[in-house]
Structure 1
Amino acid sequence: MKKLVLAASILAASVASAFAADIAARPYTKAPVAPPVITYDWSGIYIGGAVGGGWATTDGVLYNAFPGALWRTDSQSRLIYGGFAGIQKQWGSLVVGIEGGWNGLDNGFNNTAGTGVFGQGCIYGGGASCQSRIDDIGYLGGRLGYAWNRFMVYGQGGYARADIDTRVYLPAANLAIAAASAAHDGWYAGVGGEYAVLDNLVLGIDYKHYEFDSERHNCNRAVVGCTVVDLRNVSAKVDAVMGRVSFKFNPWSTGPVVASTEKPSTEDHDLL
């Protein structure tokens, strides 16, 4: 019986020793580390072009004519096109920048909406109409964006300036008279969205609302067809929706933005 107990004790001690040795020899392995997240960096300088549609109206008054003789034109769609350039910087998801650009509109004149005491006759009657044309628009302002990797939405606003032509059209004689023009200061505000298709190629869509201050459009009275009642004050509004393509580069870049997902490691403890 003593021999049996002794043999069992020796066997138990051997198993315990082997088990302890196996634990000590087992290698320590860390949990797998998630790969770093690479996010797109919107910082840099960009230049591009845009094309779309614009809707313009003008309002005003023939200030030497009968009270209530208004100058107003229909809102008609126009092709609008142009170029732009800007610089921006990204902090986290926030993107702050400055952009300037120039847009041209097609050169068709639009007609009166038929308002005021004299209606569509534009004080002349007989089917005559007030007409206006916005030649071009320049702008300079700020952009504030919020980015998700390669996608960004933004708001914008700032200073704008437009060259505007006006005239009176007499359809019976197929004759335009009392032509005048002026440069108008104003402002703009809008929103947009962009997507970086490639690191340097960005596609977007942009909306701007422009308002231009009232300016005096006085035709040259030395020219036949311009009388004292043709002198007018005119203001304008434009809404534009444009598709954009831009090329962006960052001369100060040190590489893509990396958001590391690695957690601090914890030391293992010896099992006794």
Structure 2
Amino acid sequence: MKRLALAGLSAVAITGVAAPVFAADLPQPAEPAPYVDNYAPAARFDWSGFYAGANLGWGFGNFDNRNAPDIDANGVTGGIHAGYNIMLNPNVLAGVEADFMFSDMEDSKTVGGNTFKNSSSWNSTVRGRLGYTFDKFMVYGTGGLAIADLETKVNGNKKDKTAVGWTVGAGVEGAITQNVTARIEYDYQDYGSEKYSIGGAGYRTDFDQSLVRAGISYKF
């Protein structure tokens, strides 16, 4: 009986030792690969820095004259602009911009045998800009100093003035690439009154104009 018991214990012991060894020889399930999150949010468009570009549009001018008929003129306007932007926070932008525009704004009227002509061949502004960005899209307001060339001609005699005034406007701008943006902008410019003496007669012109223009800029 003792021999039987000993034999049984020996078999159990051998089985207990052999089972792990045998199990080790069996194919083991592969360990799952660790989870790696490869998603990275796209970087927001960076509006900050220097930029320069060109624009083209249409101007509507009003020459309110004293001692002469009022003249409304309109024409093509085009030129260059440059500026600098900084981001005040992820969405709010502040900047400064200057431009120089040529125009063919002129018209004339003949009253009582006298021909009166008003024209403006160029204008320039220095403006601040404040915008709100939606990644690659921006809406902005702008305003500042405006300067323009004004000419009054009466029966061939003329007088030129460089008028100083103010401007205010708004626009929308969007990024085409990381360096190129496009815009549409409206600006109102008011130059107040300018006095002239032509041929011994005194004249006064109040000039204001509205500009609608599209532009493209390169951001450095």
Per-residue deviation, 1:184: 0.7
Q: Distance in 2 between matches of 1:102 and 1:86?
A: 12
Q: Deviations over 1:97-153 (max 9, x none)?
A: 0001111112x63124xxxxxxx61xxx03x34210012101101000111111111
- Match 2:213 to one of 239, 242, 255: 242
Residue 99 (structure 2) pairs with residue 101 (structure 1) = yes
Which structure 2 residues correspond to residues 102-141 of structure 1 after superposition, within 5 A?
102-106=100-104, 109-112=106-109, 121=111, 125-126=112-113, 128-141=114-127
- 1:198-213 to 2 correspondences below 5 Å: 198-213=177-192
Percent of residue pairs identical: 28
TM-score by length of 1: 0.65
Which residue, 81, 85, 108 being the options, matches 1:88? Answer: 85
Normalization by structure 2: what TM-score? 0.79
Q: After the TM superposition, which parts of structure 1 deviate over 4 Å for at least 4 consecutive aligned residues?
A: 26-34
How many residues align? The count is 190
Note if contact 1:88-1:95 (Cα within 8 Å) is conserved in structure 2: yes
Specify the alignment match of 1:217 in structure 2: 196
| 1-structure distance, mates of 2:143, 2:206 | 19
Q: What CA distance in whole angstroms lies between the structure 2 residues aligned with 1:205 and 1:187?
A: 20
How far the C-alpha of 1:235 sits from its partner, in A, is 1.7
Q: Which runs of 5+ in 1 are unaligned?
A: 1-25, 63-69, 113-119, 169-175, 220-225, 250-272
Other-structure match for 2:55: 50
Aligned to 2:165: 186
Larger radius of gyration: 2
Q: Aligned-residue CA RMSD in angstroms?
A: 2.1
Alignment-mate amino acid for residue 207 of structure 1? Y
Q: Between Structure 1 and Structure 2, which shows a larger proportion of strand residues?
A: 2
CA contact (8 A) 2:50 2:85 kept: yes
Displacement of 1:37 in angstroms is 3.4
Look up the SS of the partner of 1:141 in the other structure.
strand
Q: Which residue of 2 aligns with 1:40?
A: 45
